[in-house]
Structure 1
Amino acid sequence: MSSNAFDKVRTRIAPSPTGFLHLGTARTALYSWAYARHHGGEFVLRIEDTDVARSTQDSVDQIIAAMNWLGLSYDEGPVYQMQRLDRYQAVVEQLIAEGKAYRCYATPQELEAMREAQRARGEKTLYDRRWRPEPGRQLPAPPEGVKPVIRFANPVDGEVTWDDLVKGPITIANKEIDDLIIVRQDGVPTYNFAVVVDDWDMRISHVFRGDEHVNNTPWQINIFRALEAPLPRFGHLPIILGDDGLKLSKRRGAVSVMDYAANGYLPEGMLNYLARLGWSHGDEELFTAEQMVAWFDGSHLSRSPAQWDPAKLDWVNGHYVKQIDEGRLADLVVAQLTGKGIKVASGEVLPKLGLFKDRCATVAALADWLAMYFAPAAPSAEDLAAHVTEAVRPALAALAERLSALPDWNKAAIQQALKETLAATGLKMPQLAVPVRVLVCGRAQTPSLDAVLEHFDKKKVLDRLQSVRN
């Protein structure tokens, strides 16, 4: 799958810093990274910041933070396009000198009138090459006060064909595309030109990117050929659909990678899930980044749109919540609790993890469980009214007395106190256990009550049980 024109596999991810790193770009980054690592190649991070009006340093910082969180280490970069303007200008001048690009002085009003006439004739709206130099053609003098754009002289005839890594052979006729603008009036290059120069200079051998770029590829291939530059292999990945069947986008849903980090997902879980959104290795569902690198040779990429499934993500992430080192898990829980304004040390969290982590899909869910040990219980009025009734209050008081008298605070002793209270009051376990949970834990359902209470400070349990008297 490597290209003979390159001495090694080099891939890249090139996000635009106009917002956060979203999930589609993260998946593309993952595939590009895994492909480079599989082949012993290199992975480049490039920041495509030529959209000056919308690019921000905050977006750059978020992109880099997301890449670091995902563990997608890059061998070169970040490279910023706006620091390469002199290089683009030099290449443009070369193309103009060779007759492969030209200055166009058409005003926006003229171009709109041209398109209106084409639409009226039922034609596709394409630039009519009015400023393109041709043998024997006399161009008008450049109008005063009009700054030109620079257009690429796209071949008029023939076809562009490439063997897409995902879609297979694709052919587009040159007559379907026009002479695109490669440098704007302000001297800033457009995407389709800058990306070619960058990929050429950075010796990018394989380009993975989203489906939306298929229509850009013929232009880019023609520019590569005009520059006599080696052509990378292209692989266009299908879109990711949201759980509502519509295209996942920045405007719809929490699709920032760092949103998922903040909400308690693990990078292992996110990478594993993203990998399966468009690629497979047999029936494997759960695998490490190292396994993916070993398997990801660029084959088995799906041509069909992938469906984002929050429940599947939770299942995958929950697997890693159970598997990761408990010291690291404790630190992550502490960070979540700190975000809730609860100050606690990892050592206080660690002994409690085993009781709850098997029922949690995210670190945030685990922190929600453990918060009851460190923050005041806040049972709902509905739970109090439904479960802490006048009929059960004497049993709660009796249990508090037995617990208070325990010389040892452990699961067995707590279980014995519960049994004795049930025997003395004639209640069934749910009639006593649920109100205890509501008062002590702030919720009506928990794992085994004796195991939950064992991890509480004894005085805290007694104080919460006795709060019913107030």
Structure 2
Amino acid sequence: MYRVSLFPTRDLHLSDLSVALMNYICAKQTNQQLIVRIEDGDKAHNIDGKDQELLEMLALFGISYAHLYYQSENFKYHLQFASTFLDKKKAFICFCAFDKVSPYDGTCENLSSDEILNNPNPFVIRMKTEPISDSFIIMAQNKYPTYTFACACDDMLQGVSTILQDEAHLQNCPKEELIRKSIGYDQAIHYTHLPMIHEGDKSVQWLLDQGYMPEAIVNYLLLLSSPTPTEIFTLEEAIAWFDIATLSKTPVHFDMNKLGFINREHIKRIPNMELSKRIGYACDNIGKLAKLYTEEVSTTHEIKQKIDAIFAKKEPLATFEAESKLIQELILNAPYFETFDDFTAYLSEKSGLKGEALLKPLRFWLCGADYGLDPAFVYPLIKNYLKEIVR
């Protein structure tokens, strides 16, 4: 069984998503269950509603799971295990400064029962280790388990057999194994630590807000981490060939330019109507138009700005004001033309304008800009909306 940990104290980071994706893929490949655990032990910093937001984010990226757990549901077991460790002298109560870092000097290791009972000061519970200088806290002063202790207990209780996690957690593995061994749990748990992503603390939501599509983010994160048979692919395609054994052993760098390239390629791949809906419209031709803009920009947010400018209320061009007003009036009263050539021929004949005096205002009315896409490519996709566009 694989597990994904989510932290309701913050937004989902790229490194979190990368770990979740690889757990999901490996679970699929081995026909094992994937569980999700909300690590809500830090009660003081949990954000209301963040757990549901994180679960919705997993769904957006196509990550499904078999069971959902909350760390807080196991607090009674954490306390029981800690009490057992105290009874068996595998842990001890410690009154030392709680921010004291290793090496620990063992001051409280051998306190008598009377010394403990008669000490009114707050305390923590430390796991006894050899050497004592490595003794680490398992229950904090607020009577809640530390993250390492809770994870060790929960993975055991929930039957997790394989853990893929960020290498930032590497130092916790020996502690977790000691905890489970001290409880008497002898089932092996296999660890794989994923390479750090420099700038992996970027918020996934921020990338989505910028117009990077989930398909592209998935593609890039997997491309970053291991060799792939093709540069552009979907999550479902990756399940067929992804190999955790080929995972990079060194930190990787997040490149926004590369993500932009991959995003453009995925914009080109999705159905036109789907793309149209993602930018706030519902027309196949608007989806086709959106794909034309991948020659200029990389994100759906930028494309939406381009297309919104086409449909926005416009004022005549200052440099061709009279010509702009004339072209606007002619378009509003023009008959329907199937082709751009027939359309422009009509406008030229009725206005007497030619060259730049015709094309500059026409580009502005059709494209919402005086540069960029050729109006000849835009016209076939917006001709049914002309009266709305030049209103």
* 1:371 Cα deviation after fit: 1.4
Mark the runs of 5 or more structure 1 residues left unpaired by the alignment: 1-9, 116-124, 157-174, 243-247, 250-254, 335-344, 464-470
Is 2:257 the counterpart of 1:328? no
Q: Aligned AA for 2:259?
A: L
1:443 paired residue number = 369
* 1:238 Cα deviation after fit: 2.0
* 1:288 Cα deviation after fit: 1.6
2:24 paired residue number = 33
Distance 1:107 1:407 in 2: 81
* 1:407 Cα deviation after fit: 5.1
Q: Deviations over 1:117-137 (max 9, x none)?
A: xxxxxxxx511222224xxx9
Distance 2:286 2:259 in 1: 25
SS at match of 2:215: helix
2:205 paired residue number = 258
Q: Aligned AA for 2:241?
A: W
2:73 paired residue number = 83
* 1:398 Cα deviation after fit: 6.7
Contact residue 276 and residue 287 of structure 2 kept, 8 A: yes
Distance 2:390 2:291 in 1: 26
Distance 1:403 1:193 in 2: 71
Q: How does 1:57-456 map to 2 (within 5 A)?
A: 57-77=48-68, 79-107=69-97, 125-133=102-110, 141-142=115-116, 143-156=118-131, 178-229=134-185, 230-242=187-199, 248-249=200-201, 255-282=202-229, 284-334=230-280, 346=282, 349-360=283-294, 361-377=298-314, 384-385=317-318, 388-389=319-320, 393-394=322-323, 397=326, 401=330, 404-406=333-335, 408=337, 410-417=339-346, 420=349, 425=353, 427-428=354-355, 430-454=356-380, 455-456=382-383
Deviates more, 1:62-71 or 1:19-28: 62-71
Q: Deviations over 1:406-462 (max 9, x none)?
A: 45354342143366579x55x43x553233223453311242313424414343466
* 1:374 Cα deviation after fit: 3.4
* 1:232 Cα deviation after fit: 1.4
- For the structure 1 residues 99 and 313, does the alpha-carbon distance in structure 2 shift closer, same or farther, using more than 3 Å as the test? same
SS at match of 2:224: coil
2:5 paired residue number = 14
* 1:19 Cα deviation after fit: 1.0
Q: Aligned AA for 2:140?
A: R
Distance 1:399 1:126 in 2: 78
SS at match of 1:68: helix
* 1:373 Cα deviation after fit: 4.3
1:169 paired residue number = none
* 1:389 Cα deviation after fit: 3.5
Mark the runs of 5 or more structure 2 residues left unpaired by the alignment: none
Q: Aligned AA for 1:235?
A: T
* 1:35 Cα deviation after fit: 0.9
Contact residue 96 and residue 123 of structure 2 kept, 8 A: yes
Q: Aligned AA for 2:320?
A: T
* 1:144 Cα deviation after fit: 2.8
SS at match of 1:99: coil
Distance 1:265 1:219 in 2: 39
Distance 1:317 1:45 in 2: 28
Identity %: 25
* 1:378 Cα deviation after fit: 6.1
Contact residue 402 and residue 417 of structure 1 kept, 8 A: no
1:47 paired residue number = 38
- For the structure 1 residues 378 and 127, does the alpha-carbon distance in structure 2 shift closer, same or farther, using more than 3 Å as the test? farther
Contact residue 167 and residue 194 of structure 2 kept, 8 A: yes
The alignment of Structure 1 onto Structure 2 pairs a total of residues equal to 384
* 1:403 Cα deviation after fit: 7.9
Deviates more, 1:403-412 or 1:318-327: 403-412
**Which TM-score applies when normalising by structure 2?**
0.88
**Which TM-score applies when normalising by structure 1?**
0.74
Distance 1:147 1:461 in 2: 70
Contact residue 162 and residue 190 of structure 2 kept, 8 A: yes
Q: Aligned AA for 2:121?
A: V
Q: Deviations over 1:78-117 (max 9, x none)?
A: x111121111112112222332112223355xx86xx8xx
SS at match of 2:129: coil
